Structures are given as structure tokens and as C-alpha cells.
Amino acid sequence: MTDESRLRELICTLAKSLFDRGLTHGSTGNISARTADGGLLVSPTGSSFGRLDPARLSRFDAAGQHLSGDQPTKEMPLHTAFYDTRSQAGAVVHLHSCHAVAWSLMPDVDEDDFLPPLTPYAVMQLGRVKLLPFFRPGDPAMGEAVRGLAGKRSAVMLANHGPVVAGKDVEAACNAIEELEANARLAVLTCGCRPRLLNKAQVGDIVTHFNVEWDA
């Protein structure tokens, strides 16, 4: 099995795991990963994470030309914005996970720091998450909004829509977006209960100790 074949299988395996655990549903969500030659493998438009076919993933070359496979997700501008602004990005995942979307609907959520510091793991894996405004699905303006962050955030939350995370590889990106949803679930569960948050000193210690990319 070639490296690309393994990557195709891994993308589909991870996507199915996310789908089977209800982290995205129906034909929602999209996923992409860098290939060894600098190209991309991308989930097709209208496809379900629960039923991705490794052979039908959209294949792009390093110049962004569609070479083979089905037509890609309509959110390609969102994916390419992360790859173009974050040289270390090896994969991008976008879900419609329930608790993250629910938290984005709350009126007092901090746009520059979407997730409250409830656990160290969201800080470690995501840094600060930017809440972006609502865009029509597939609107290229989403990609422009990500480009406007100049590569300073690895994760964004699209209001009323879903989270998007870039990682060094597809496993890291999936782990991080799962952490985002878990922290959002805790935020929803504890909303109005005055939970004890990590304080600034504790967050700073985590950022320093684990060398977290932290856009202040």
C-alpha cells in the first residue's frame, strides 16, 4: 500500500469515527489532508463522513488543480485559506458538532476567545479559538475571514454553523476538533452555574510549558 493509499484510508476511517459518534451528521462536514507531493485529498461535496470512499476523494495537485475523484466540498475556500496562511497545516477538518454550534449562539460569547478555559486540553490543542460571524455555507467570504487572521489561529468557529480546525496532520486535526466540541459541551452544561475557570496564571503556565501557539 502506498503512502497516499494509507492516507486515503486514514481520512475515511477518522471521518467515520466522527460520524458514528454524532460529531457531524447527514452529509455535513468536510475534511482535507496534504499529500506527500504537496497536493490535497478532500472529501467530496454532498458526501457523508459515515460513507466516504477512499477511491472517490477529490485529488488536487500542489498547484490547486483538480486531478481526479469526485467534485470537492463547496467549502474549499475555507480549507485553502488555512493551508495558504499556515505553512505547518497538514490537514483541515470542519464539523457541524452540536455543542460547539449551541455555544456559538450564546449572546455573551467572547469573539476573540470562543472557548472558556475550563480544561487545559483545549488550551493545549487549540490555542485561542476565534468566533467568526455567520456566512452562507460555501460563501468564499469565509475563506477571506480566515485569511484575515494572518495564520494566527489554528481553529475558528463559524457562528450558527460549526468549527474548523487545522492540524499538523489529519489525526492531530481530528483530535483537536474533538477537544473543541468537548470543551463546548462543558461550556453549555455549566452555563449559568458560575463554573471555576482556569485563571490567567494557570493558562499562562500551560501555554509556556507546552509551547502553545497563543495569539494574545
**Which residues are catalytically annotated?**
75, 121
Strand order in the sheet with 91-94: 66-68, 58-60, 40-42, 30-34, 91-94, 162-167, 155-158, 130-132
CB proximity list for 93: less than 8 A, separation 6 or greater: 18, 29, 30, 31, 164, 165, 167, 170, 173, 174, 177
CB atoms near residue 2 (< 10 Å)? 8
Residue 152 near residue 215, CB atoms below 8 Å: yes
User: Collapsing DSSP states into helix, strand and coil, what is residue 111?
Assistant: coil
Residue 176 near residue 125, CB atoms below 8 Å: yes
d(CA 163, CA 152): 16
